[in-house]
Structures are given as structure tokens and as C-alpha cells.
């Protein structure tokens, strides 16, 4: 996953927890998940429109 190991992901999560706090993280996670899903859906639509 982007060349990140478990320790790097853990450090990123700890920093996010410190910056945003426990109340904001679930909402941020939902928004990021929706954005990733939208990106995947859009790329899939583009692939289907380009392929014969």
C-alpha cells in the first residue's frame, strides 16, 4: 500500500489522532472512504467508456 509498512501507518494514525482528536476521526474516515469510492467509480466508468 504505497510502500508504507505497518510502523509508518501507525505513526500516521497517531499523528492524525493528535491533530484531529477522537471525535473527528470517524467523520474524517467516512469522508475519505467516500472520496476513495468516488474516485474508483469514476476511474471504472472511464475505463468502460474507453474500452471497445
Q: Is the pLDDT of residue 42 over 70?
A: yes
Average pLDDT, rounded, for the chain: 86
In tens, the pLDDT along 13-26 reads 889 889 888 888 88
What's the pLDDT at 3?
Answer: 80
Reported as a pLDDT band with limits 50, 70 and 90, residue 39 is: very high
- Give the global pTM: 0.60
Using the Cα atoms of residue 28, residue 34, residue 40 and residue 43 in order, give the sign of their dihedral.
negative
Nearest to 25 by CA among 38, 39, 12, 8: 12
What's the pLDDT at 1?
Answer: 47
Amino acid at each position: 500500500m504505497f510502500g508504507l509498512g505497518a510502523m509508518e501507518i501507525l505513526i500516521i494514525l497517531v499523528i492524525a489522532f493528535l491533530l484531529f482528536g477522537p471525535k473527528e476521526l470517524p467523520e474524517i474516515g467516512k469522508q475519505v472512504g467516500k472520496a476513495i469510492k468516488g474516485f474508483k467509480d469514476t476511474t471504472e466508468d472511464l475505463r468502460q467508456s474507453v474500452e471497445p
